[in-house]
Structure formats: structure tokens, C-alpha cells
Structure 1
Amino acid sequence: MPRTKNRAEALAAAVTLKPQAWGADFRAQQPAVSTPRTVAVLDEQCRWERRGLSQGVLASLSRYSEIPAADGKGELKVSAAVTVHTSVRDADERLASTLEEPLRCRQQQVRTDERIAKLISAATPYGQGNNTYSDDQVVEIGKYLTGSGEQTYYWYVTRLGTVTLAVSVKGAKGYTDNELATYASHANVTMLNSVEFELGGKS
């Protein structure tokens, strides 16, 4: 596992999904990538913002992609993020916080015109359910709220050692829940495989 900021940043850059990794129809959002050396935090007012790296975090990177609205379908937005922690304990605490956040913030402000609400979360540690691929995983399902209405929202946060991976899918008109879940699951598996490849190549 990476122990320096440079190694951690290189791992995050290699693993965090670019638009083409989501599928042929995806392109980069604007902005396409998070501010360097910041991490996403849910603040006391239940608003998501980016802050400087906290103690226990070596690197964090988010990339934002979308399928533009076309042929009667709405604009589908997705994100992928990788955070490299200094220890397994720090990474594990991040997942514990993720599991508790829907209880603290029933409705969360993502951007000025975007909110998520009606969130439910469930944890699946290694060996439970069908989790034979990661040390731990939290899945959140809720509703994505914009001026154009309410859609399904998925967020997967998965831990492998000191690395946490996060993928979000914000539903849009014309997309079924099964399609959204497939995008989230595929992105999660792709990044997990990439982490294992990158770490294996360095061992």
C-alpha cells in the first residue's frame, strides 16, 4: 500500500475512472476533476464541499463524467473517487462515517441545484452477503433531486486495505434503476480490479 503522498497521488490518478471507462457515451463534466489535494467532506450543515486533505489522508481524487441529454433521455451524471489513507484504521473510519451520514443528514446538498434525500445505507464487510472482493463496502440508495424532478441515486464506497473507492450515479429521465445500478456496479468492479493491478505491480 502507498505510504508517501507521491505514491498515493499516482495510485489515485491511475485508478479513478475517466469518462471512457464508464462507457462509450460518456464525456467529462465541467469541472472534470476535483481540486488537487482536497477531499470531499459533508459539513455540519449537510452540504458537500472540498477541503484540504485531513490528517490520515495521503491523497484523494474525484473525476466527474456524464452522458449528455439526448433522444428523450435526461443528462446522466456519475462520479468516481479514490482516497488513499495512511492506515487501515483511517480508511475503516471513513467507511463508518459514510454509513452514519444518512442518519445525521437525511437530505444533503451536493451542488447549488442538486440535493440527495431519502437515503438508506447498508454495510457488507468481507465474507458477508456476496462480498468476496473487498475488505468492506457501504452502499447508499436514495433520491437525486433537481429542478427537473426526482430520480434514483446510487453511491458505492468500497475499501481495500488503506484505499477507499467511491462511485456515484445520479439518475435521469429515461434510465431504469437496473441500468443505474449496473453503471455503479461496473465502475466499482473496474476500480477494484485496477487497484489490485496497480498494487500488485508495485509489490
Structure 2
Amino acid sequence: MTYKKYIVGLTGGIASGKTTVANLFAENGIELVDADVIAREVVEPDSKGLKAITEHFGTEILLPNGELDRAALRSQVFDNPQQRLWLNNLLHPMIRQTMLEQVNASTSAYVIMVVPLLFENHLNSLVTTTLVVDISPELQISRTMQRDGVSKQQVEHILASQMSRGQRLDKADHIIDNQGDINLLRKQVAHLHQLFLQQAAELSIKANN
């Protein structure tokens, strides 16, 4: 019997703790579909994605071992909106298609789809409900500087390119506050897990009647 999957779109700004939250849901047996992981898979050696990128930009965007040189590709598209648009038009449909295939293949009660740019790329249209992991911009800056070894200015530049905290929270169906300790985080995840289980069961019953 088929029914519409209950999909939770998990998002948040840089260094908000999306992976930590996703992994807590995974500990409850919930399958994850991660856009960042898929984005790397669609440009692996011998993939259609990498073949198309190489044909378009030339072999200078390849590392000696045949893998994609991400830094070289970034420099090609960074200040070139047309090239960036070309790249997005190539990769976004591939990523979207693979995400949906993984969702359809999942067997857990509901699925967590982890998408950093869920709202920016309008991928919230694919999910049943949205969950935003929220921290203050100050924490985002300090965590990113610590994690990635980048300057405050670089982090502020990234923040400026993403949707604002206010806009993201306005669009969220559910919000997890990740500014406290891990125990507080676990409590919030446990509460939402029960809610999503209940709503997924209701969706399943409705779809099968």
C-alpha cells in the first residue's frame, strides 16, 4: 500500500547545528536525506554531473586524481552570475531528484530532509513540515570561526548571503533552540519526534482511506 511520505524539512543558518539535530533524530531510527551529501555524490568521478561540468569549464576544474577541484570551480562561478546560474541549473534538478528517490526508498516512520538552503531554493515545497534550528548571529559567527578557521568578516559575508534569521523563523513550522546544552536539545528532539510520529501516522491513515 502506498501513501504520501511525511517529510520534515530541516534547515538553519551556518553553524546552527543542523547535523547535530539530524543525528539526534537518526538515533530514534529516523532516516536522513542530506542535501549536502547528495551534492557531493552528484559530482563524484564518472558521474553525469562531473562529466557535464568538465565539458563546460574544462579539465582545469579537476584534481590530478580526477575528482572535482571545488576551489577551482568556486573561483569560476564566484563573480560570474551567468556561470553560477548554469551550474545551479545543472546540479539542483539532480540533487532534487536524488533526494526524492532516497525519500521514496526510506522505510522509517517519517524522513528528515536536511537542506541548508531549504527556503532559498524553494525546496520547502517538497516537505510536509519545516523545522528550523536556531541560534543567535553572534553564536553563528563564533562557532563558524572556530570550526572553519575563517575570519569574522568571512562569516559575516556568508551570513549576509543567506536568508535572515527573522525571515527563516517566520517561515518555520517548528523551531529548535540550539543555544543551550545537549540535554535541552535532546528534550526538544524527543518532543518533536513524538509529534512527527503521530502526524505521520495520521497522514498514512488519511491517505489509505
TM-score (norm 1): 0.27
* Structure richer in strand, relative to its length: 1
Higher CA-based Rg = 2
Which has the bigger relative contact order, CA under 8 A and spacing at least 6? 2
TM-score (norm 2): 0.26
* Structure richer in helix, relative to its length: 2
